[in-house]
Structure 1
């Protein structure tokens, strides 16, 4: 039962991701072709060129996906270390602040 839920969640996530890429690629193409040829005498873009521009801008301005994974892994490890160094009272105070029940339920 759980594997079906996981497979369904993966399928939905993949579908949403591909839909987002398709919509953003079309938006980049429409905006580029509406503005840049008239303003700067730039060539028009096809859909796949617009998706390439989108990917290139993502890589240039956000970095590679591996950087984000390393940063999250480092932050998670650091958070675990800080949590392990806390006293029980400090942990309870944080749980109360976040609205997490202290009894674990």
Structure 2
């Protein structure tokens, strides 16, 4: 029962977030674009959602920022001994300093 409530709550939160983001995109577009470009039209909510999806596809993807890969790396880090962790830190710092030239 608790699992269902959590799933429904997450789905409801997702729908609300999509609606709010679509409203923000629509408001910003209608405020900025017609004032800057002659002949630009205002958009409605459905077009704002389409613009939001298009921008996610072109610029951000749908993967999120850590997700499954972050947990996998964390498990690997947790399984390391303190000596392995220190060796990893020194190798990481050496690689970073070589790339930045510091």
**Could you say which TM-score interval applies, normalised by the shorter chain?**
0.5 to 0.7
Q: Deviations over 1:13-54 (max 9, x none)?
A: 111110111111112112211221121122211111100111
Per mean C-alpha deviation after superposition, the further-off stretch among 26-35 and 76-85 is 76-85
1:57-96 map, 5 Å:
57-65=55-63, 68=64, 72-86=67-81
Question: RMSD over aligned Cα, in angstroms?
Answer: 2.3
Q: Which runs of 5+ in 1 are unaligned?
A: 91-105
TM-score using structure 1 length: 0.64
The match for 1:29 is: 26
Deviation at 1:77, TM superposition (A): 2.6
Q: Which runs of 5+ in 2 are unaligned?
A: 86-102
* Cα distance in 1 for residues equivalent to 2:62 and 2:23: 23
TM-score using structure 2 length: 0.66
Number of residue-to-residue matches in the alignment = 82
Q: Which of 46, 54, 61 is matched with 2:44 structurally? A: 46
Name the CA shift for 1:81/1:27 in 2 (closer, same or farther; >3 Å): closer
